């Protein structure tokens, strides 16, 4: 057993930990990213200990300046992380004690690594979620700007990936806005539910020291101390909830990615992605590959995997803390990194895409996308919708046999299917007429989309 380690918990051991076991059980290689949160938690704990009389003012002073130095060393990349010291908590504490002596050994009074790590993750995750929320807002703002530019742009709307009805591109972009709005809500919820402080739970049962948990919670900006000490150290719901919200958000980004990839192909040619988000091919000179959306689509697999990892990690654990929990960090951090990177890329890439308006328009004219409008027209002239559907089906079959669009048929031709059809039908069979008619709340008409953009702006301002 190394000297460092024995000073932390080696009292009752008679042989050193196996060297392999030491590295197998260590988490310092990945939990060192909790260092800043760990130090913040320790500072608040120490201030509270002094306030309730467990530490003297001098001891607190030296803990504060010692931790400041530890933080400087870490920030400067000069900190010597040691696997023998297992995790971030013991690394920081050991260095503190090396720097300030006995006062450092008192920092852990009334605390366990169990409540310490649960607190650190919450502090860290809380801040990272704030970053995610900001990125989502940036992305949403960019979408609203693009939607405003493309409010009159018409493209085919699809169901079953078959051309269904013409829609405006601004309207489609607002659908993406809504997906992100729910992600924002989920992450906000997750952040507020996790904002309770485990410190004071100690190993699991609480502590006999007269800790003022409300004071520590206030210093760390937690809403409250966790109510139950056993749950405080056993719970990892916040990590599961975050990974779940992240997986859903990545699923949204992946669906957008799929459309971006299709739309930027030569066959669709609806959009042009900014060059700085694409790469070329080493063999085919003509290629411009949509690597970033493809990668984001692929990365959604990771966030799904991480969610399942955490659910499986927790599902059979007896209360309270178990070492299994050390396995929570890598999936959590990976989901965070994946989500933040993907949002960052999309928030800049998507609002800067160029819409090929003419191609979109021509595509919307294919596939009889205004057939529903003809049926609605007949309904307005007294036909029951089911009968109108039948009539229009026949008209479409005729137009297909003539290899032309409904709007290119003559009035005579259309009147063969129903005598109620008159000259005013052509206005409705046009793409512009079709979208303009859908001005119901939430619909695709440019006039309606303008109002929706305004409402969305207010929502996120």
Q: What is the CA radius of gyration of the chain?
A: 31
- Which listed residue (172, 192, 281, 316) is catalytic? 281
42 scored as a contact of ligand ARG (CB under 6 A):
no
Q: Which of residues 321-380 bind ligand ARG (CB under 6 A)?
A: 323, 325-326
299 scored as a contact of ligand ARG (CB under 6 A):
no
Shortest distance in whole angstroms from residue 313 CB to ligand ARG: 11
Q: Binding residue for ligand ARG (CB under 6 A) from 44, 96, 117, 428?
A: 117
- Residue 59 contacts residue 103 (beta carbons within 8 Å): yes
Q: Which residue number, 125 or 374, has a Cβ lying nearer to ligand ARG?
A: 125
Shortest distance in whole angstroms from residue 1 CB to ligand ARG: 16
Pick from 244, 423, 265: nearest CA to 332: 244
- Residue 92 contacts residue 35 (beta carbons within 8 Å): yes
Shortest distance in whole angstroms from residue 166 CB to ligand ARG: 55
Q: Which residue number, 117 or 314, has a Cβ lying nearer to ligand ARG?
A: 117
38 scored as a contact of ligand ARG (CB under 6 A):
no
Shortest distance in whole angstroms from residue 42 CB to ligand ARG: 14
What is the C-alpha to C-alpha distance for residues 418 and 6, in angstroms, rounded to an integer? 93
Q: Which stretch binds ligand ARG (CB under 6 A): 112-120, 210-218, 268-276, 282-290?
A: 112-120
Which region, left, alpha or beta, applies to residue 336 given φ > 0 means left and ψ of -120 to 50 means alpha? Answer: alpha
Pick from 80, 96, 98: nearest CA to 38: 96
Shortest distance in whole angstroms from residue 173 CB to ligand ARG: 42
Q: Which residue number, 27 or 42, has a Cβ lying nearer to ligand ARG?
A: 27
Shortest distance in whole angstroms from residue 367 CB to ligand ARG: 56
CA 394-431-258 angle, to 5 degrees, is 95
Contact code string over 70-109 relative to ligand ARG, x by CB under 6 A: -----------------x----------------------
Q: Which tokens in the block code for residue 190? A: 């997750």
Sign of CA dihedral 185, 188, 190, 193: negative
Pick from 197, 235, 238: nearest CA to 216: 197
Q: Which residue number, 127 or 324, has a Cβ lying nearer to ligand ARG?
A: 324
What is the C-alpha to C-alpha distance for residues 95 and 257, in angstroms, rounded to an integer? 47
Q: Binding residue for ligand ARG (CB under 6 A) from 17, 50, 97, 114?
A: 114
Bond prior to 320 in cis (omega within 30° of 0): yes
Q: Which residue number, 323 or 386, has a Cβ lying nearer to ligand ARG?
A: 323
- Which listed residue (14, 160, 401, 410) is catalytic? 160
Q: Binding residue for ligand ARG (CB under 6 A) from 5, 8, 17, 27?
A: 27
What is the C-alpha to C-alpha distance for residues 314 and 3, in angstroms, rounded to an integer? 34
- Residue 125 contacts residue 194 (beta carbons within 8 Å): yes
199 scored as a contact of ligand ARG (CB under 6 A):
no
302 scored as a contact of ligand ARG (CB under 6 A):
no
Q: Which residue has the tokens 């916040």?
A: 238
281 is known as an active-site residue: yes
Q: Which helix (H) or strand (E) holds 196?
A: strand 196-197
Binding site for ligand ARG (CB under 6 A): 27, 31, 87, 113-114, 117, 323, 325-326
Residues annotated as catalytic are 160, 281
């Amino acid at each position: 057993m190394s000297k460092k380690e024995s000073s932390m918990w080696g009292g009752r051991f008679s042989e050193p930990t196996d060297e392999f076991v030491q590295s197998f059980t260590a988490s310092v290689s990945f939990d060192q990213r909790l260092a800043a949160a760990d130090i913040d938690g320790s500072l608040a704990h120490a201030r509270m200990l002094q306030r309730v009389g467990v530490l003297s003012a001098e001891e607190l002073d030296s803990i504060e300046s010692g931790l400041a130095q530890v933080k400087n060393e870490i920030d400067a990349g000069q900190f010597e992380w040691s696997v023998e010291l297992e995790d971030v908590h013991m690394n920081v504490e050991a260095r503190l004690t090396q720097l300030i002596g006995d006062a450092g050994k008192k920092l852990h009074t009334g605390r366990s690594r169990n409540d310490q790590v649960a607190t650190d993750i919450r502090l860290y995750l809380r801040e990272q979620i704030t970053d995610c929320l900001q990125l989502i807002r940036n992305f949403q703002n960019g979408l609203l700007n693009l939607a405003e530019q493309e409010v009159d742009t018409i493209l085919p709307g699809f169901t079953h990936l078959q051309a269904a009805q013409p829609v405006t591109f601004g309207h489609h972009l607002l659908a993406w806005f809504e997906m992100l709005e729910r992600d924002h809500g989920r992450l906000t919820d997750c952040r507020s539910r996790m904002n309770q402080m485990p410190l004071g739970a100690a190993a699991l049962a609480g502590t006999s020291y007269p800790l003022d948990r409300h004071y520590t919670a206030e210093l760390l900006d937690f809403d409250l101390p966790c109510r139950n000490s056993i749950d405080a150290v056993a719970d990892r719901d916040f990590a599961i909830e975050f990974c779940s919200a992240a997986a859903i958000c990545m699923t949204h980004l992946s669906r957008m990615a799929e459309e971006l990839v299709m739309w930027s192909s030569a066959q669709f040619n609806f959009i042009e992605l900014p060059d700085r988000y694409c790469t070329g091919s080493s063999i085919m000179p003509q290629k411009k590959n949509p690597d970033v959306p493809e990668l984001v689509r692929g990365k959604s697999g990771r966030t799904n995997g991480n969610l399942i990892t955490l659910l499986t990690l927790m599902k059979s654990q007896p209360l309270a803390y178990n070492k299994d929990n050390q396995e929570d960090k890598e999936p959590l951090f990976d989901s965070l990194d994946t989500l933040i990177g993907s949002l960052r890329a999309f928030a800049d890439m998507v609002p800067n895409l160029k819409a090929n308006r003419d191609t979109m328009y021509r595509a919307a004219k294919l596939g009889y996308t205004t057939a529903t409008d003809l049926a609605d027209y007949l309904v307005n002239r007294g036909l029951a919708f089911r009968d109108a559907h039948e009539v229009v089906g026949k008209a479409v079959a005729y137009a297909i046999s003539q290899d032309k669009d409904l709007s290119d048929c003559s009035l005579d031709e259309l009147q063969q299917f129903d005598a109620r059809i008159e000259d005013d039908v052509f206005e409705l069979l046009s793409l512009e007429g079709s979208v303009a008619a859908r001005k119901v709340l939430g619909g695709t008409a440019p006039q309606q989309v303008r109002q929706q953009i305004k409402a969305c702006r207010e929502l996120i301002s």
